[in-house]
């Protein structure tokens, strides 16, 4: 991969930080674009990293953040709507704005992060916005590469950390019977995949879905975590209707720990399709959740 300047929007998020680390390791120049830009933990400073204050909702700050850049990664995400930021605003309007300005700036490569299962007829407003965002980005920049991700895991993540916290309860409530199938993917493997997509030669594929090597039921993931943490807890099925009621009640809080969209997501499998781009196309063998647990979630 020849040296270039890559602007990473959302470079302070969980995925964005991993992408920045991989880019630095690959000898690339990186511009972290965020409302509150900061270096990833473990990186004390480097001549190859530039911090730029930018808001994906603001055209002028986007233009400043992509000026002189060769490539752009849009890793901005919103999981809980805020008064000043809706799913439509961030995932559709702002994503399209960024793609359009990147095209005007002559950006050579644009990678847009989305989620597996994105479709416009989903009962989840989050998923619908993700799907509309993909279409809006491709309309603004037909050459953009869309990368849909399964649930991410890694050190200090939200996924395993939250589940590990549940294992401290006397009993662990399951979403339904816990049979929803997931394909957890390590954040570093995703970051490495994005580095490949930013390099040469330019892939002819425009849609990738990245999931880990193992398809696991939610209840099996919980069982694996319990064994890893040397805890024994009963797994208790809880109807999705109850979860929806809990989410509706939690929505009254300023920072709800559970949303209706999250409950809806847990009602459907999140698995990579076999007829789009994958890790295999990029020459990457993703690591499994089971093998990664010791480094992602040290024993207490």
Does 254 map to a domain? no
Does 51 map to a domain? yes
Does 247 map to a domain? no
Mean pLDDT of 23-35: 93
Asked whether residue 203 carries a pLDDT value surpassing 70, the answer given is no
Asked whether residue 183 carries a pLDDT value surpassing 80, the answer given is yes
Q: How confident is the model at residue 300 (pLDDT cuts 50, 70, 90)?
A: low
Q: Which domain holds residue 81?
A: 5-152+183-211+270-284
Q: Which residue in 11, 285, 269, 247 sits closest to 150, CA to CA? A: 269
d(C-alpha 280, C-alpha 63), whole Å:
35
Asked whether residue 212 carries a pLDDT value surpassing 70, the answer given is yes
Q: How confident is the model at residue 298 (pLDDT cuts 50, 70, 90)?
A: confident
Q: Which residue in 84, 73, 87, 63 sits closest to 12, CA to CA? A: 73
Asked whether residue 200 carries a pLDDT value surpassing 70, the answer given is no
Q: How confident is the model at residue 81 (pLDDT cuts 50, 70, 90)?
A: confident
Does 237 map to a domain? no
pLDDT reported for residue 129: 97
Q: How confident is the model at residue 291 (pLDDT cuts 50, 70, 90)?
A: very high
- Cβ(132)–Cβ(120) below 8 Å: yes
pLDDT over 90 percentage in the chain: 83
C-alpha dist (Å) from residue 194 to 48, 75, 92, 226, 279? 18, 11, 21, 32, 10
pLDDT reported for residue 73: 98
Does 159 map to a domain? no
Does 70 map to a domain? yes
Does 87 map to a domain? yes
User: Which of 86-90, 116-120, 252-256 has the least mean pLDDT?
Assistant: 252-256
Does 239 map to a domain? no
pTM: 0.94
- Residue for token digits 């425009």? 206
Q: Which residue in 121, 106, 281 sits closest to 202, CA to CA? A: 281
Specify the CATH number for the domain of residue 69. Answer: 3.40.50.720
Asked whether residue 3 carries a pLDDT value surpassing 90, the answer given is no
Please give the mean pLDDT across all residues of the chain: 93
Pair type for strands 172-175 and 181-182: unpaired
Mean pLDDT of 203-220: 92
Mean pLDDT of 12-30: 94
pLDDT reported for residue 256: 82
Mean pLDDT of 241-260: 88
Q: Which of the two residues, 80 and 234, has the higher pLDDT score?
A: 234
pLDDT reported for residue 1: 59
Domain count, the chain: 1
């Amino acid at each position: 991969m020849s040296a270039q300047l890559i602007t990473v929007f959302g470079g302070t998020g969980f995925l964005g930080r991993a992408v920045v680390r991989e880019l630095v390791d690959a000898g690339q120049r990186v511009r972290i674009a965020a409302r509150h830009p900061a270096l990833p933990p473990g990186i004390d400073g480097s001549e190859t990293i530039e911090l730029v204050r930018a808001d994906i909702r603001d055209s002028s700050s986007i233009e400043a953040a992509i000026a002189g850049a060769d490539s752009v990664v849009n890793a901005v995400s919103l999981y809980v709507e805020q008064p000043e930021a809706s799913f439509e605003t961030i995932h559709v309007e702002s994503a399209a704005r960024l793609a359009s300005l990147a095209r005007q700036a002559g950006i050579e490569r644009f990678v847009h992060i989305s989620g597996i299962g994105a479709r416009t007829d989903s009962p989840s407003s989050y998923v619908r916005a993700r799907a509309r965002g993909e279409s809006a980005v491709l309309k603004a920049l037909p050459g953009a590469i869309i990368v849909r991700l399964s649930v991410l895991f890694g050190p200090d993540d939200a996924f395993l950390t939250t589940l590990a916290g549940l294992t401290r309860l006397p009993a662990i409530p399951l979403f339904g019977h816990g049979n929803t199938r997931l394909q957890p993917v390590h954040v570093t493997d995703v970051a490495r995949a994005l580095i490949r997509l930013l390099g040469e030669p330019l892939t002819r594929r425009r849609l990738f879905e990245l999931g880990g090597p193992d398809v696991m039921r939610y209840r099996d993931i919980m069982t694996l975590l319990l064994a890893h943490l040397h805890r024994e807890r009963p797994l208790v099925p809880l109807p999705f209707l109850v979860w929806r009621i809990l989410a509706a009640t939690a929505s009254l809080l300023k920072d709800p720990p559970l949303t209706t969209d999250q409950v809806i997501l847990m009602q459907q499998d999140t698995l990579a399709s076999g007829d789009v781009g994958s890790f295999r196309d990029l020459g990457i063998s993703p690591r499994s959740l089971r093998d990664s647990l010791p480094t992602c979630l040290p024993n207490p």
